[in-house]
Copies of this chain bind each other. A is one copy, B any other.
């Protein structure tokens, strides 16, 4: 997010004058998201000074929206005791995310200062693998028992509303923490007039849950599919471990989209925004793939070398190489993206392979002949100085057939590679446009010169 310099001079003045009253007003007057943005550009300790003036809840809210890096800087530089106390008030999922960005020796100093219950909570959450539902969930939610009444449930909301992530879904558990049901705030609000109604008579029992070790994408898929506000995370014996709320899900959906876009262009995923990724990290994530592609592409040299004599005999052939190869790359890139996206959205499964093959076979043929006709026309317009009249028609037909065949080949490889990767348990996104294009290029050279040798020379 670009720096917003409007408030910075005022904020610096408040800090210089230690104007506690104005700092408090600044935090209270505008939305926490904007307060966090406006302070972008101040030193971490200056930010901490400003937000320390406001009430704990607002402080937590503003802190949540600071850049992860700034959060970590504050945790590293502000007095340990203050931070340890503050950490206890952060939502359980946020504090784990932040602590993972803090230097390890600082974490080691902070941990003993955090109260035992929160410390255990942090340790439990950090234990889940990155990208799992367990690593994404919060443990701040409201639990009810089946034998509670509506009025008791309302009391729970009033008691915990400041520390819970959502008051809109309340989870019903038994004495062993097994998840047995869900009551929405909507149902409670509808029954405000019946305070003695039992939760067991209101709650929904047929719940969609995710396992703590499942991927967070799976949670996102379910939440988007069912329009949930949150989804419960359970262990193998259906004990409730935490919940993932819709705002975190929206971030997951957006992160996944970015990751998929990067993969599609052969870039290793990066978590930070474009301008904040360190230069050499970005270099590594781009060079790795470029080098892989370049080395794979070396095969085209050998393939071309194999047909050197054909090119010596008819130099005009070389002029068509970039044209016919790009056709394979473009059609392959289209097909691989369509299939990768359809797999990501659960629109197709590996078992649909036959339908997909049939569809893309037909599509590749129709697309190929369309392009082939354009290729035919271009080849037919080759200047007479380059090729004789009789050869020209043969050349044009060869180009037409080559373009059609390469387009079909690109389409099929583009459609099948993501399915093959998925089947092999690899992210189908690896079958990116550039990757498919590189694979298809070698095929393209072989197809082109085979046709040329057969019909033209």
Which residues of A pack against B, CB within 8 Å? Answer: 1-2, 29-31, 33, 154, 157-158, 161, 167-168, 185-186, 188-190, 192-193, 206, 208, 223-227, 229, 246-247, 249-251, 253-254, 256-258, 260-262, 264-267, 273-275, 279, 282-283, 286-287, 289-291, 293-295, 297-298, 300-301, 304-305, 308, 311-312, 315-316, 318-323, 325-327, 329-331, 333-334, 336-342, 345-349, 351-352, 355, 359, 362-363, 366-367, 370-371, 374-375, 378, 383, 386, 403, 407, 433-434, 437-438, 441, 445
Chief secondary structure at chain A's binding surface: helix
Bound-complex Cα distance A347 to B255 (A): 13
- Can you offer 29 A-B residue contacts whose CB atoms are under 8 A? A167-B185, A168-B186, A185-B189, A224-B250, A253-B257, A258-B341, A260-B261, A261-B337, A261-B340, A264-B337, A265-B334, A265-B338, A267-B338, A273-B347, A274-B338, A274-B347, A275-B347, A286-B331, A290-B331, A293-B330, A294-B323, A295-B374, A297-B323, A305-B383, A311-B315, A318-B318, A318-B321, A329-B329, A433-B433
Bound-complex Cα distance A39 to B312 (A): 64
Bound-complex Cα distance A290 to B257 (A): 24
Q: Is the CB–CB distance between B279 and A297 below 8 Å?
A: no
Collect the chain B residues with CB atoms within 8 Å of residue A250's CB.
223-224, 227, 246, 249-250, 253
Cross-interface CB contact of A158 among B189, B340, B434, cutoff 8 Å:
B189
- A322 with B321, Cβ < 8 A, contacts A295-B374, A367-B283 known: yes
Nearest Cβ in chain B — how far from A371, in angstroms? 5
Q: Is the CB–CB distance between A290 and B185 below 8 Å?
A: no
Nearest Cβ in chain B — how far from A439, in angstroms? 11
Collect the chain B residues with CB atoms within 8 Å of residue A275's CB.
342, 347-348, 352, 355, 359
Q: Is the CB–CB distance between A260 and B262 below 8 Å?
A: no
Bound-complex Cα distance A270 to B75 (A): 47
Q: Is the CB–CB distance between A157 and B341 below 8 Å?
A: no
Q: Is the CB–CB distance between A287 and B189 below 8 Å?
A: no
Chain B residue at minimal CB-CB distance from A436: B265
Cross-interface CB contact of A370 among B192, B291, B322, B346, cutoff 8 Å:
B291
Q: A246-B246, A290-B367 are in contact. List 13 more A-B contacts (CB 8 A).
A: A1-B346, A154-B189, A227-B250, A250-B250, A262-B337, A266-B333, A279-B363, A287-B367, A289-B334, A294-B371, A318-B318, A322-B445, A326-B434
